[in-house]
Amino acid sequence: MKARNTMTACRLALASAFMIVPVSGQAQTDVSSIGELERVLKQGQTVLVTDSSDRTIKGTYFAVVGDSLVLSTPEERVIPWKEIVRVKRRDPVWNGALIGGAILGTWCAVVCGQGLDQRGQLRPAVAVNAGLGALIGLGIDALSGENTVYRRNAESTARVRVRPGISVSLRF
């Protein structure tokens, strides 16, 4: 009977894990103006800025001055807002470890006691699960690495394609 309860708990754990995993790893764009960029970025945070020439500049966020983003690279770089195509920030991996450890550790503290023979086995089980959750969170953050906080929308341009004898189509 004990093995059956343990197997049921494992199945519930697996089903719960699949329900909390995000469906899409694509980050949402957080800002639409340079003024909003100030509230999202923290001074000293590593950012990757892609400009209109498709150059990527890696630096440390310093400030927003007027309509420009100021980065500290080996030298100070001032990038006008109208030239910025994309801004990405690096996500520290330690916060994924903390979140993963807290989620799996808490979950185990609530659920794992049902499948254990003795009350003294709960602490080691919680510690092992919190460690496993920390490793999973660390891995997820290491794989995702950076997220896009700003992406300029491409201007819509009309294209006309003519296929002889078939049709005319417009694409925007």
Are 132 and 124 in contact by the 8 Å Cβ rule? The answer is: no
Cα-based torsion angle of the residue sequence 53, 50, 61, 138 in order, rounded to the nearest 10 degrees: -160
- Is the whole model's pTM more than 0.75, yes or no? no
pLDDT tens digit sequence for 82-102: 999 999 887 777 888 999 999
pLDDT tens digit sequence for 8-46: 665 666 566 555 554 434 444 567 777 788 888 888 888
Which domains does the chain carry? Answer: 1-27+91-146 (no CATH), 31-90 (2.30.30.100)
Measured between alpha carbons, how far is 78 from 163 in angstroms, rounded to an integer? 47
Is the pLDDT reported for residue 161 higher than 80? no
Are 130 and 101 in contact by the 8 Å Cβ rule? The answer is: yes
Q: What percent of the chain has pLDDT over 70?
A: 71
Of 57, 66, 102, 120, the closest CA to residue 84 belongs to 57
Which tops the pLDDT comparison, 72 or 144? 72
